[in-house]
Structure 1
Amino acid sequence: MSQQNRVEDDGEKAGDVSLAEDAPDVKIVKRNGFDTAVGWAIIGLAVLALLTALAIAQVFIVPVIMAFLLALVFSPLCRWSQRRGVPEPLSALVIVVGLLTALAATTLSLALPVTGWLEDAPSIAREAERKLRGLMGVAETVTDAGRQIEEAATAGDGAEGAPIEVVVAEEGPLTTIALGAPLVVAQTIFIMILTFFILASGSLFYERLVHVMPTMTEKKRALQIAYDIERDVSRYLLSITAINAGLGVAVGCTMALLGMPSPLAFGLLAFSLNFVPFLGAIGGVAISFGVALISLPTAFDAFVVAAAYFALTSIEGQLVTPWLVGRRLRLNTVVILIAVAFWAWLWSIMGMIMAVPLLVCLRVLCKHVEPLKPFGEFLAGRDD
């Protein structure tokens, strides 16, 4: 009997042990679920804090990122020159001076026609309205009805005296540009100076990157990511620059054939705007249509000019760019559009220009980091 009681006691102890062993499992599951929720909350707060910091520090962060992107583009050229006996500081100086010269030439070529368009904006608007009025009979009827209502309201108030005219002075577009010019010039100078020092330092960044990594595997992975980002961003930006230059030449020649004023300005405008995916082409079509509307005899000519610009950008976007850029750098079109809209909201025009290069960097990073590989697949294009 005592032996049976001992067996039962041993069974109860065994059951207690099994329950004791099972109980921590239940607690661990609950604790892990709680930790997961807290972790996601921390990640969300970190993302919000990062976005806030990017928005507040835009004046500083945007030039820094632009300088690093330019350095990624021209670093292979500096290394190529170094292997042929040219010191890296000298190569960096030549590259920066060339960039400044090209930027100054483009700005001066666009300054005169764009300034003239802005100064003549009121007369341009009236001329455009006059030409479009013949195509929009309904709009003219509505305008006449509105004028009659306004005259009736004025006549009804005649007993109390003439209406008081209130004029609100607003800053013109030239004033806005003049006020923002010093900041743009300062940021441009900072970008060029920082680009020079990054290029002149050579492989110092990669040496520091290898030094801070604790293990040999992480050193190799970090170097592989850095070189892949450099290669893909450089290849993408150089390819897009060459494509945009060809598009600018085609647009300029087409505008000259169609009798548009300042065809060189239109070529440079197409070259510059096409760095912004989708929205740049739409802006170019709108600008060409507006200028043609007041420069050419009829509104039909303006539609021909806009159609020609749209056809050239469509050929570039649907045939030339996919063929030259290749499948390796092809990205999801929807993701590109969302990225352009997001960075435009955050950093305005500079954000739109840097949206796709930043996507390329993110995609390369996702290829080498295992948890991010599904997100990298989402960023890839259809034919990748």
Structure 2
Amino acid sequence: MMTTANEDSAGQPAAVVAHVAGVSPAPVVVDEAAATTPQETLVRLCATILAVLIAYTCALAEALIVPILLAILLGLMFAPLVRGLERWRVPRPLGALVAITIAIAAAAGAFFALAAPARTWIARMPRALEHLQSALRDLRRPLQAASEATRELGKLANMGGSEPMQVVDSSSGVLSQLASTAPTVLAGALVVLFLTFLFLLHGDALLRKFVTLAPHLRAKRDLVQATRQAQHELSLYMITITLINLALGLATAGALALLHVPDPLLWGGLAALMNYAPFIGPLLTACVLAVAGFAEFTTPLHALAAPAAFLGLHLVEGQLVTPHLVGRRLALDPVMVFLALVVLGWVWGVAGLLLAVPLMSCAKIIAGRSEHGYTVATLLSH
């Protein structure tokens, strides 16, 4: 009997033996890393490689992708206007033409408002650079002894001394560069306007094609409702952000005019445009205003008053105005915004910085209205 009991105990699982002995079995710990199959590892590796290839392709195809994305955003923004005009018996082609006319008028108004101050600044650039050089020389004066020692060491190492900075009349060079890039910019703008017109004209037909691909009636209804609500929310969001940036630009121009900074409308327009890129845009605007202040004024206090005034206005806008008008529902996670700015800025430069937040807002709105977009909406939400 003793031998049989031992054989039975050895032949049973450890949990049964522990139960018979009156001892609680130890918890079984599963190593998730060891449970990963080679197929899952291969899938993750292929997904990573695919993401890198997509980013590289987007960087190479900037001239093609950026106009398409900009046209899609403009199409989504103006779609409710075209649909509202269509309910008032206005033909859809005419409504799309009205929306395009509004976009052209806004862009032309901004261009003509900023063209004269920009031309004045370019003409005054050599004198401003001379003032900037003088201000930097005054700031470097306490370190002049260290600079002389460094120059002597460079001479001993046959490196030669650093040559003094020379002011070059760069106004003609800047004007020639602007003239050479004007045809490219004009061609890109025409492509964006034409694509926007096509999206506004045939957007509903394209949506109906996607609806026919839905598997059942409920999916078709959800797709239509999600698209309509996404268009409405994105249009409201873009218009609100544009008005906020415009108000910030006008307030910045007014503050700079009170500080007697030349061409305040130019810097206000720059502040409004760069405010589409959070974190990085206002920082670049403050740096540009600091350079402009040192180029125009001799005292550091007066020179730093311009960026200080802008940062104060931006603080009010970012902490009070935008959260109150936009609301928490459309607020984006700051970490994800910064990552999007870094990635898209690396891929597309300034265009990526300006498109990062509108694209993230569009992705969040659509993901929040789609059936399987909970993960994306949660990652992008504040």
Q: CA deviation digits over 1:311-358, x for unaligned, max 9?
A: 111111111111111011001111101101110111111111111122
| 1:174-210 superposed Cα distances (whole Å, 9 cap, x missing partner) | 5544443322211111000111121123522221121
1:71 corresponds to 2:75: yes
**Paired residue for 1:340?**
341
Question: Is contact 1:73-1:230 (8 Å) kept?
Answer: yes
2:360 maps to 359
Residues 189-237 of structure 1 show CA distances to partners (whole Å, capped at 9, x for unaligned) of 1000111121123522221121122322332332233234323322221
Give the percent of matched residue pairs that are identical in Structure 1 and Structure 2. 31
- The CA deviation string for residues 293-320 of structure 1, in whole angstroms up to 9 with x for no partner, is 2223422101111110111111111111
Whether the 8 Å contact between 1:133 and 1:140 is mirrored in structure 2 is: no
Letter in 1 for 2:101: V
Equivalent in the alignment of 2:14:
none
The equivalent of 1:93 in structure 2 is: 97
Matched, 1:38 2:42: yes
CA distance in 2, matches of 1:334, 1:310: 21
Give 2:276's aligned residue: 275
Alignment correspondent of 2:132: 128
Query: 1:261 Cα deviation (Å)?
Result: 1.0
Contact 1:289/1:302 (CA < 8 Å) preserved in 2?
A: yes
**Alpha carbons of 1:236 and 1:150: their partners in 2 closer, same or farther (altered >3 Å)?**
same
Q: SS at 2:278's partner residue? A: coil
Q: Distance in 1 between matches of 2:340 and 2:84?
A: 33
How far the C-alpha of 1:67 sits from its partner, in A, is: 0.3
- 3-state secondary structure, aligned to 1:124: helix
AA in 2 matched with 1:65: L
Letter in structure 2 aligned against 1:341: V
2:107 is equivalent to residue 103 of structure 1: yes
User: What code does the residue aligned with 1:374 have?
Assistant: T
| 2:208 alignment partner AA | E
1:329 aligns with 2:333: no
One-letter amino acid of the structure 2 residue matched with residue 105 of structure 1: G
Does 1:191 find its partner at 2:195? Answer: no
Unpaired runs of at least 5, structure 1: 1-29, 158-169
- Which stretch has the larger CA shift, 223-232 or 347-356? 223-232
Q: Say whether the 8 Å CA contact 1:232–1:360 is kept in structure 2.
A: no
Contact 2:131-2:296 within 8 A present in 1 as well: no
Structure 1 residue 266: Cα displacement: 2.0
TM-score normalised by structure 1 residue count = 0.79
Aligned to 2:166: none
Residues 237 and 84 (structure 1 numbering): CA distance in 2 closer, same or farther, change over 3 Å? same
Against the structure 1 CA distance between its residues 147 and 178, is the aligned structure 2 distance closer, same or farther, given a 3 Å change threshold? farther
Distance 2:178 2:154 in 1: 36
Cα deviation for residue 72 of structure 1 reads: 0.5
Q: Are the structure 2 counterparts of residues 152 and 115 from structure 1 closer, same or farther at C-alpha, using a change threshold of 3 Å?
A: farther
> Which residue does the alignment assign to 2:142?
138
User: C-alpha distance in 2, partners of 1:140/1:39?
Assistant: 60
Determine whether 1:47 maps to 2:35.
no
Q: TM-score, normalised by structure 2?
A: 0.79
CA distance in 2: counterparts of 1:47 and 1:134, whole angstroms: 50
* Contact 2:287–2:307 (CA under 8 A) maintained in structure 1: yes
Deviations 1:49-74 (A, max 9, x none): 32232122211111011001001111
The number of equivalent residue pairs is 340
Residues of 2 paired with 1:146 and 1:101: CA distance?
56
Please state how far the C-alpha of 1:38 moved relative to its aligned partner: 2.8
Native 8 Å contact 1:213 1:219 kept in 2:
yes
What's 1:252 paired with? Answer: 253
Task: Please report how far the alpha carbon of residue 102 of structure 1 lies from its aligned counterpart in structure 2 after TM superposition.
Answer: 2.2
**Residue 320 of structure 2 is aligned to residue 316 of structure 1:** no
- Alpha carbons 1:88, 1:201 under 8 Å: kept: no
CA RMSD of aligned residues (A): 3.0
Query: Letter of the aligned partner of 1:292 in structure 2?
Result: G
